[in-house]
Amino acid sequence: MGGTEAFDPWTSLILLDRYRQGDERAAEALFARGFSRIVALARGRLSPPLARRADPEDVALSVYRSFFVGAREGRFALGRGGDLWRLLSAIAVHKLRKLARREGAARRSFRVEVPLDRAQGLRGPVHEEDAAAADELGHILAALDPDGRLAIELRLEGRQVAEIASETGRSERSVRRDLARARGLLAARMGRADRSDPHPGVAAVSHRDFLLLRMIGAGRMGKVYRAREVATGREVAAKFLRKNLLGHPVAVRRFLGEARTLAGLRHPGIVGIRGVGRTPGGSCFLVLDLVDGPSLAAIAGARPIAEAEAVRWTIQVCHALEHAHGRGVVHCDLKPANILLDGRGTIRVTDFGLARSIGGGAGPVGGLGIEGTAPFMAPEQASRSWGRIDARTDVYGVGALLFTLLTGRPPFPGRALADILADVASPSPAADPARLRPGLSGPLAAACRTCLAKPPGARHRTVRELRLALERS
C-alpha cells in the first residue's frame, strides 16, 4: 500500500471532502495513504504481552473505522496544513492506550467476564472507572484540533510541557492552552452528566450491581450485553447508549425515552425493562429482560421460513403491538432483527428506541434526521408527503416483516441508502410476494399487499384488523 509515502496536505483535504460527499474511492485513497504507517506505529508501541494478544493490523482497521465515522459526523477535520497523519496517529495512540488499560486493570465494578473463545486475547477484567474515563477522553479528543489531541496524548504518556512543545514544534504557551481547554471540556462534560436525570420513571439501578458477560447485539444507537445481577445471579440484558452519542441531547432523550416507554408496557410479547442507570463516566444504560434465543433475522438468514411459521410469528407480533397501541405507543422500527424468539417458541418484540406516541405529531424529533431502518420503513417515515406517523405505520412495518419472512428479502432492497429511501417514498408499490414465492396462498399474499400499500388509508386500519386477516388466511 501507499501508506509509507509522504502525505500531500491538499490531497488529503480534498479526499476527505470527497469522502464526506459519499465518494467511496476517496475513502479507499485515504485508507491507502495511512494504513501501513498505522500498522508500523501499532507494532512499535505494543508491549510484548499486548503484542501476543493484539494484531497491529486489527488496530489499524479500528483506527480507520473511528476516523471514517468521526469524519462523517463532522468530529474530525483537516486544516490547510494537512494534518491527516497527526490525526490518524492520535487516534491510534488513544486506542493503544485503551488496550494497555484493559490489559493492566485487575478489578472493576461493572466487570467483564470474557467468553472462552476470546479468553486468550484478554488476560484480565477492565476497571469500569478506567473504561469510563477512557470513553470521556475520547469525547475530549474529538473536540480538539489535531495539535491539541497530540498534546494530550503526549501528556498522558508522562511528557512535561517543555518536552511536548519541543517534540511538536510549538510554544509552551500553546501547549498549556490546549491542556487547559481539555480540562475545561472535561469539567463541562462531567457537570452536564451530573445534571442529567438518569431515572426516567423506572427503577434506578447501580452499575456496580451487574457483571457484563459478552456483547450480544449492536445497532445505530447502542450496544447490548448479556449481564448477570450480582446479588441474585439472574441473567439480564444491559443496553448502553453508544459513547459517540452521549453528547447529543436528542439521542440521550431518545434512549432514556425507551425506558419510559417500556415502563408503561407489560405484555409477554414485549421485552420488559428492569431498571435504568448511569456509569461514573456518564454512560447511560438500561437493564432489560434477557431473551435467550435468536432474532427472526438470524433464523431467516439460516434457513427458509415455512408459511405457517411466518404467519404464527406475525400474529404474535400483532398481539404485542395491540397492547402497545392500546397504550398510545407506535414502535416505528419493526424488522426481523427486532423480533426475538425465546426458548419456548414465544415471540418477543424489542427495541422501542424509535417509538412514538400516537397522535404525537408528524415527522421525527429534530436532530437525528429520518429515523428507522430504510428497507422496512413506511413511506410516511421517509417523507411527510404521505401523512403523519400513526398506528398504520406499524401495520406497514408488520407487513414488511411478513414480506421478508416469506420472500427472504425486504420490500425495498438496495445497497445505497438514498436509493432505498427514494423507492420507499415513491408511489411505486413493493413487489408482489406471490411473484417472489410461487405457491404462496392467495389470502396471505393479499394481506401482505394491503399492509404494504403506500397510502396509509389503503392499509389495514389496525394491527387487530391485520391479525384477524392473518388468522383467516
Is 423 catalytic? The answer is no
Angle made by CA atoms 343, 347, 349, in degrees to the nearest 5: 125
Q: Which helix (H) or strand (E) holds 176?
A: helix 172-195
Of 377, 379, 299, the C-alpha closest to 345 is: 299
At residue 14, what are phi and psi to the nearest 5 degrees? -65, -45
Distance (Å, whole) CA 198 – CA 193:
9
Contact 225, 237 (CB under 8 A): yes
DSSP single-letter state for residue 352? -
Helices (H), 303-441: 307-326, 379-382, 391-407, 417-425, 433-436
> Residues 360, 291: contact at Cβ < 8 Å?
no
Give 412-443 as a DSSP string. S--SSHHHHHHHHHSSPPPPPHHHHSTT--HH
Q: Annotated catalytic residue: which of 83, 289, 333, 423?
A: 333
247 CB neighbour count, 10 Å cutoff = 17
Whether the CB-CB separation of 327 and 394 falls below 8 Å is answered with: no
- Cell numbers found for residue 318: 400483532
Task: Give CA–CA dist 333/324, Å, rounded.
Answer: 13
Question: Is 265:312 a contact under the CB 8 Å cutoff?
Answer: no
Query: Hey, which bits of 204-313 come out as E strands?
Result: 210-218, 222-229, 235-241, 273-278, 284-288
**Closest alpha carbon to 387 in 357, 363, 360, 412:** 363
- The SS3 assignment for 244 reads helix
Q: Are 395 and 460 in contact (CB under 8 A)?
A: yes
Sequence-distant (≥ 6) Cβ neighbours of residue 41 within 8 angstroms: 89, 92, 93
Task: Please tell me the distance from the alpha carbon of residue 35 to that of residue 92, in angstroms, as a whole number.
Answer: 11
- 454 labelled ligand-binding: no
How many CB atoms neighbour CB 375 within 10 A? 19
Residue 50 contacts by C-beta under 8 Å, 6 or more apart in sequence? Answer: 99, 100, 103
Active-site residue list: 333
Annotated binding-site positions for ATP: 239
